[in-house]
Amino acid sequence: MAGQTDPHISLFSPQEVEFMAEDELVEIVPNMNMEQLNFISGDFGRFIPQIPTKVPLWLAVALKRRGKCTFRPPGWMSVDNLTQILEAERESQSTFQALPFSYVEIARLLFDHARDDIPDMYMVRSLVEDIRDVRLHKLETNLGSFQGTSAVKISNVSAMEVNIVRPFVIRALEAFYKHDKPEADVDRDTRSSRQQREANNEPRRPLRQR
Amino acid sequence: MKSRSLKLREAHKVGGSAAFCSILWDHKAEHFVTSSSSDPSISVHDGLSPSTLPPTILRHHQDGVTALALSNDSTFLASGSIDHCVKLYKFPSGEFQTIITRFTLPIRVLAFNGSGSLLAAAGDDEGIKLINTFDGSIVRVLKGHKGPVTGLDFHPNGELLASIDTTGTVLCWELQNGIVSFTLKGVAPDTGFNTSIVNIPRWSPDGRILAVPGLRNDVVMYDRFTGEKLFALRGDHLEAICYLSWAPNGKYIATSGLDKQVLLWDVDKKQDIDRQKFEERICCMAWKPNCNALSVIDTKGKYGIWESLVPSSMLSPTVGIPDILPKKRNEILNFDDEIEEELYGVSESLNDSLVDSDAGESHHTSRKRLRKKTLIDDDADAYEELNDGSSLPSASEYRKKSHRAHREKQGAKSGAFKSISASTRYKMQSPFQPGATPLEPGKRTFLCYNMLGCITTIEHEGNSRIETDFHDTGRGPRVSSMIDIYGFTMASINESGCVFANPCKGEKNMSVLMYRPFRSWASNSEWTMRFEGEEVKVVANGSGWVAAVTSLNLLRIFSEGGLQKHILSLDGPVVSAVGWKDHLAVVTHVSDCLPSNEQVMEFRVFNISKMTQELKGRVALTPGSRLTWIGFSDEGSLSSYDSEGVLRVFTSQYGGSWIPVFSTSKEKKQEENYWVVGLNTTSLYCIACKHPEIFPQVTPKPILTILDLSLPLASSDLGAASLENELMLKQLLLYETQRRVDDMALVGVDTTALEDEAFDLEVSQDKCILRLISSCCSSDSFVRASELMKLLTLEKSMRAAITLVTKLKLPFLAEKFSSILEERLLEEANEAITDPSENPNREVVTRVESKVQNPPASIQTSENTEAAVKSSATKLSATTLVRKAKVSEGLKLGKEQTKKDETEDAKIKEIKKLNLKNPVNNVNKEDKGQKKGVNQGEARRSSNPFLKSTV
């Protein structure tokens, strides 16, 4: 991806992940009248006071900053639901509960900009933080024991979590790949050595047959 | 327990003799502030761990700090000093703001009023200064004390100020006018010139009692109105009391005496509970706001916190804190008789102690009670019985008697009423205000909620606070909240203002109508009307007028400025009324309820500016239901909603009828009740309430739900109910639009925009019909399909229908359809001939249009002979038809359009067939048509684009 901080290890900065999460739709209750907004990603509105509408998170935050709307906290962001999720996360060591793909980012943006619109804000906040910690810990321990194959399958992992483990997983898989197919490595080695030589403008030597 | 000693920590160094030190808590108990009259610095201590964190030191004074005060919300700290200055700081940051005032002699005491807008300062100078904290201006100087003032305390509601001087004289000031309401001369000990001892008065947190140290080592309690001595707390103090502090809930009081001990009292039992001995005299105390703790400071600048001083077996001092909202200063200045009554502390236990008091006191109590009575009848009765038992002064007895007599009279009246209605058992519906929720004590309720905004009210301690909010916060005017001393129960809001009214409560309180304009070029343009012997039942407002319907069945209409414009007598008790622009709809009862429990009601729609009655008719209701809402839709049609959940719109169809456009029972979500707010032509705006609830709550702010209108259709064998519903709604809408076009054309207003709208409607209606035809064909109901065919308005769509059935391999239906089309064309041709004479208005419009568009049309016609033939057959008269043709090129008919292209061959055949038949009609049409040259030209043009698109 274009905006990637470090393309070599496929790592996004948290800001980048958050930026991508800003395209998620959230429900807001506007307090102004506005015609429909036509964006490349779609049409949003029309905005009528007191009538909820769905808009991308970035737009919602922009409107909220101007005092033009209030957020409706997403359904999963209730104390009841989060408590349940937290319990379930703690119970099972291998599976992850279904949460929105970018739940960390959404929660963070809502906590930053819409603290007055979230009922039981402090409770919700601590629950989300707990859930995040539990899941991260679980993910790390799970990855510690993954079987050497060509792929890792874990469902319901969120964007931020994937981002954190991506460098490790990719390198680990590469390593497995290398060990599984030594011949391929030889090929790669020879190829790279050839390139070096070309760069050095050295006279070409025939390869010795083994 | 009694010998337990408290460890004190030094906050201020006091060298030599005793100094007066102060201690204060902020409202959240996060910080406390100390000062000493021998130390120019002020210390702000952390409330949680005063021992570990060093205090913040504020050093702005040149001499010892004698007085401290914190505003109620703890945002400002004021300090007064021997250096004659009063300084203001931000709190808790301690940032120095300003020297708010200067005296000529040392300051001894400071006090903020409840809202923090006023600071009272006093000292050795003559006079108490009342300072506006916003700009530092002196609002008033209260002069009357004969010695240095050492104690000040604002009454919790902010209207009274108690002050005491060193000679022990207490004055109670009324802040509105600065006069002394009572004087208690020499009731407290004379402290002489010892500045380390102060006399202080303290109001109880509920504002009913003023506590002042007494001459007999006691605390004396005085009544807040009369200054009458109520009782005294006397006990183990061996010397005079020098400081006292009420617990936050007013149940306890802590007193400190010159005998170096602090006593804790139970005010209700008038007994001391606990005591604490100290090495030095405690000169200041403060209860920690949210816990059972008292902080004390002695004359050596040492402070301590006496934790859990109230035994756990007793009520915690933080339970049941009376909540009295301070008034804003502007409101104070508009002083009214009723304000006296607004304070109502419900401390039952205190009541007991007040029974033995004088006439004045019980007079107040009973007056307050009377006000409550209308709300809580049982409670009042109980109280009356209770009071009858005890020996009560004659004055209040008399009052009560007269009141009871009045009540009995009322009872007799309603009894007679009952006997009439007893036969039917059902009651006539009582009047209501659309968009209001029933009043609930202690809860905010809607007085009015519509698509524009809402008015909410909450009753609190006898008077109410009213807030006005617009949904669109950007565009609507900002309206400040209002303290409502009348107890308004009815309100109505629109863009220009809001109107309030209250019912009459007892013989003293008249029904009042009040209007507040939002934008006015003149200041103070709100007005009130009082009604004697009459009660406002319903209010409404519109553009430039305010209406009130009263218990005498009078409809009173006022102008926006308060001019009484019209008074009409209605012919029945009012049920509801609503305004919209110039229109006022009033619903009244016609007769008593039918035995089948059906309300008999009638409505009228008035045009206020024209002084006409536009509509009149009966109100349609579901049997057994009540009217719960009436209003105008966004387009201005009168609508009603009943308790069975049926929304009706009044149309002029069938000579004026109600059409049920929505029914809750047809909606899938059964567990929700819908509280209607407004509607437009296609949808209903409502607040969905979870099942047992019928009315929405004010907080959290309710959101509107949009529901599509759906007629309560019977379940048809066609299985296309949604299409049928859509069709009916569209027909209704089209009818209304065309009616409006006609109305406007009659007055000579430009109708282009509305005509465009009507045309769009026709197009969408045809689309809907085509889809219905298709579903009719698939279910083999061909008669219905041909009926639908007849309903199509555009020629283009009729042809599309033919194509459709051809495609569906129904040749006989195609045949039928083409004959219908033919008939139609013929009809239209005939109409074109006769119509212009009938409707000259239309013709004018047509001609204007055709003039504009003729030239290009004539060119096209010359190219196409076929068109010429056909054009004679399509002499379109109505302007709408001109438009149809004009836009038909761009008309999309969905699937049918694409099908049409595929079956071009079939279509050509079709056209040929038509052409074969056409000449028959042609002969007579053509010569007649020639006379109408203009029309013909226009018709020609109109058919052209269609042909182009098909061939």
Going along chain A from its start, the domains and CATH numbers come out as 14-180 (3.40.5.50)
How distant, in Å, are the alpha carbons of A187, A192, A198, A209 from that of A202? 21, 15, 7, 20
Write out chain B residues lying below 8 Å of A51, CB-based: 685, 703-704, 706
The owner of tokens 């007056």 is B367
pLDDT-derived band at A6, boundaries 50, 70, 90 = low
Please write the tens of the pLDDT for every residue from B769-778.
999 998 888 8
Do the Cβ atoms of A32 and B685 come within 8 Å?
no
Do the Cβ atoms of B701 and A67 come within 8 Å?
no
Closest CA to B464 of B502, B411, B421: B502
Write out chain A residues lying below 8 Å of B702, CB-based: 50
Do the Cβ atoms of A29 and B702 come within 8 Å?
no
Shortest CA gap A81–chain B (Å): 20
Average pLDDT over residues B825-851: 61
Write out chain B residues lying below 8 Å of A52, CB-based: 703
Decide if A70 touches B, using CB distance below 8 A.
Answer: yes
Please write the tens of the pLDDT for every residue from A130-176.
999 999 998 888 877 766 566 677 888 898 888 888 888 888 888 88
Considering only the beta carbons, identify the residue of B473, B700, B706 that sits closest to A51.
B706
Do the Cβ atoms of B473 and A119 come within 8 Å?
no
* Per-residue pLDDT, B641: 93
Is the pLDDT at B859 greater than 80? The verdict is: no
Write out chain B residues lying below 8 Å of A72, CB-based: 703
Shortest CA gap A105–chain B (Å): 25
Q: Write the DSSP string, B792-824.
A: ---HHHHHHHHHHHHHTT-HHHHHHHHHHHHHH
Write out chain B residues lying below 8 Å of A70, CB-based: 701
Contact call for residues B772 and B723 (beta carbons, < 8 A): yes
Distance (Å, whole) CA B177 – CA B413 = 45
Is the pLDDT at B567 greater than 60? The verdict is: yes
Please write the tens of the pLDDT for every residue from B780-799.
888 888 889 888 888 889 89
Is the pLDDT at A17 greater than 80? The verdict is: yes
In this structure, what token pair is assigned to residue B938? 């226009």
Do the Cβ atoms of A32 and B702 come within 8 Å?
no
Average pLDDT over residues B432-458: 89
Write out chain A residues lying below 8 Å of B700, CB-based: 119
Distance (Å, whole) CA B555 – CA B603 = 13
Q: Please state whether B417 falls in left (phi above 0), alpha (psi between -120 and 50) or beta.
A: alpha
Chain B contact probe: residue of A34, A50, A72 with most B CBs at under 10 A: A50
Distance (Å, whole) CA B865 – CA B653 = 43
* Per-residue pLDDT, B287: 87
Decide if A68 touches B, using CB distance below 8 A.
Answer: yes
Do the Cβ atoms of A50 and B473 come within 8 Å?
no
Do the Cβ atoms of B474 and A51 come within 8 Å?
no
Distance (Å, whole) CA A77 – CA A118 = 9
Find the chain B residues whose C-beta atoms sit closer than 8 A to any C-beta of A: 470-475, 685, 700-704, 706
Shortest CA gap A33–chain B (Å): 7
Average pLDDT over residues A47-76: 91
Do the Cβ atoms of A50 and B700 come within 8 Å?
no
Distance (Å, whole) CA B676 – CA B686 = 4
Do the Cβ atoms of B474 and A70 come within 8 Å?
no
In this structure, what token pair is assigned to residue A192? 């790279």
* Per-residue pLDDT, B795: 86
Is the pLDDT at B610 greater than 50? The verdict is: yes
Return the residue of B nearest to A32 by Cα.
B472
Shortest CA gap B922–chain A (Å): 51
Write out chain A residues lying below 8 Å of B446, CB-based: none
pLDDT-derived band at B569, boundaries 50, 70, 90 = very high
* Per-residue pLDDT, B854: 43
Angle subtended at Cα B815 by Cα B809 and Cα B821, rounded to the nearest 5 degrees: 120
Do the Cβ atoms of A31 and B472 come within 8 Å?
yes
Is the pLDDT at B16 greater than 80? The verdict is: no
Contact call for residues A191 and A33 (beta carbons, < 8 A): no
- Report percent pLDDT > 70 for chain B: 75
* Per-residue pLDDT, B566: 92
Considering only the beta carbons, identify the residue of A32, A52, A70 that sits closest to B472.
A32
For the whole model, what pTM was predicted? 0.53
Shortest CA gap B864–chain A (Å): 43
Contact call for residues B231 and B270 (beta carbons, < 8 A): yes
Distance (Å, whole) CA B545 – CA B542 = 5
Return the residue of B nearest to A72 by Cα.
B703
Decide if A49 touches B, using CB distance below 8 A.
Answer: yes
Write out chain A residues lying below 8 Å of B475, CB-based: 32-33
pLDDT-derived band at B420, boundaries 50, 70, 90 = very low
* Per-residue pLDDT, B847: 45
Is the pLDDT at B868 greater than 90? The verdict is: no
* Per-residue pLDDT, A198: 46
Q: Which of residues 105-124 of A touch B (CB under 8 A)?
A: 119
Q: Map residue B112 onto helix, strand or coil.
A: strand
Distance (Å, whole) CA B65 – CA B61 = 7
The owner of tokens 């001995």 is B277
Q: Which helix (H) or strand (E) holds A63?
A: helix A57-65
Contact call for residues B939 and B835 (beta carbons, < 8 A): no
Give me the helices (H) in A144-181, please.
Answer: 159-180
Average pLDDT over residues B492-497: 90
Contact call for residues B599 and B428 (beta carbons, < 8 A): yes
* Per-residue pLDDT, A8: 62
Contact call for residues B633 and B467 (beta carbons, < 8 A): no
Is the pLDDT at B419 greater than 60? The verdict is: no
Average pLDDT over residues B33-45: 87
Considering only the beta carbons, identify the residue of A33, A67, A72 that sits closest to B472.
A33
Shortest CA gap A38–chain B (Å): 22
In this structure, what token pair is assigned to residue B223? 């009544």
Q: Please state whether B425 falls in left (phi above 0), alpha (psi between -120 and 50) or beta.
A: left
Q: How many A×B Cβ pairs under 8 Å? A: 34
Do the Cβ atoms of B700 and A119 come within 8 Å?
yes
Q: Write the DSSP string, B134-197.
A: TT--EEEEE---SS-EEEEEE-TTSSEEEEEETT--EEEEETTT--EEEEETT-S---TT-TT-
Distance (Å, whole) CA B528 – CA B516 = 9
Considering only the beta carbons, identify the residue of B471, B702, B706 that sits closest to A49.
B471
Distance (Å, whole) CA A155 – CA A139 = 11
Do the Cβ atoms of A33 and B701 come within 8 Å?
no
Is the pLDDT at B939 greater than 70? The verdict is: no
Do the Cβ atoms of B472 and A51 come within 8 Å?
no
Name, in order, each residue with C-beta under 8 angstroms of B851's C-beta and a sequence gap of 6 or more: none
Please write the tens of the pLDDT for every residue from B695-718.
888 888 888 888 888 888 888 887
pLDDT-derived band at B320, boundaries 50, 70, 90 = confident
Q: Write the DSSP string, B65-82.
A: EEEEEE-TTS-EEEEEET
Distance (Å, whole) CA B250 – CA B762 = 73
Write out chain B residues lying below 8 Å of A119, CB-based: 700
- ipTM over the 0.85 cut-off: no
Contact call for residues A33 and A44 (beta carbons, < 8 A): no
Do the Cβ atoms of A68 and B474 come within 8 Å?
yes
Shortest CA gap B455–chain A (Å): 15
Is the pLDDT at B352 greater than 50? The verdict is: no
Contact call for residues B587 and B581 (beta carbons, < 8 A): no
Average pLDDT over residues B98-116: 86
Dihedral through CA B263, CA B268, CA B270, CA B275, nearest 10? -20
Return the residue of A nearest to B703 by Cα.
A50
Please write the tens of the pLDDT for every residue from B634-691.
888 999 999 888 999 998 888 889 999 998 887 766 678 889 999 988 889 999 888 7
Do the Cβ atoms of A51 and B700 come within 8 Å?
no
* Per-residue pLDDT, B514: 92
Return the residue of A nearest to B450 by Cα.
A50
Q: How far is CA B37 from the centre of its chain?
A: 51
* Per-residue pLDDT, B103: 86
The three-state (H, E, C) secondary structure of B920-939, written as one string: HHHHHHHHHHHHCHHHHHHH
In this structure, what token pair is assigned to residue B52? 């570990």
Q: Map residue B706 onto helix, strand or coil.
A: strand
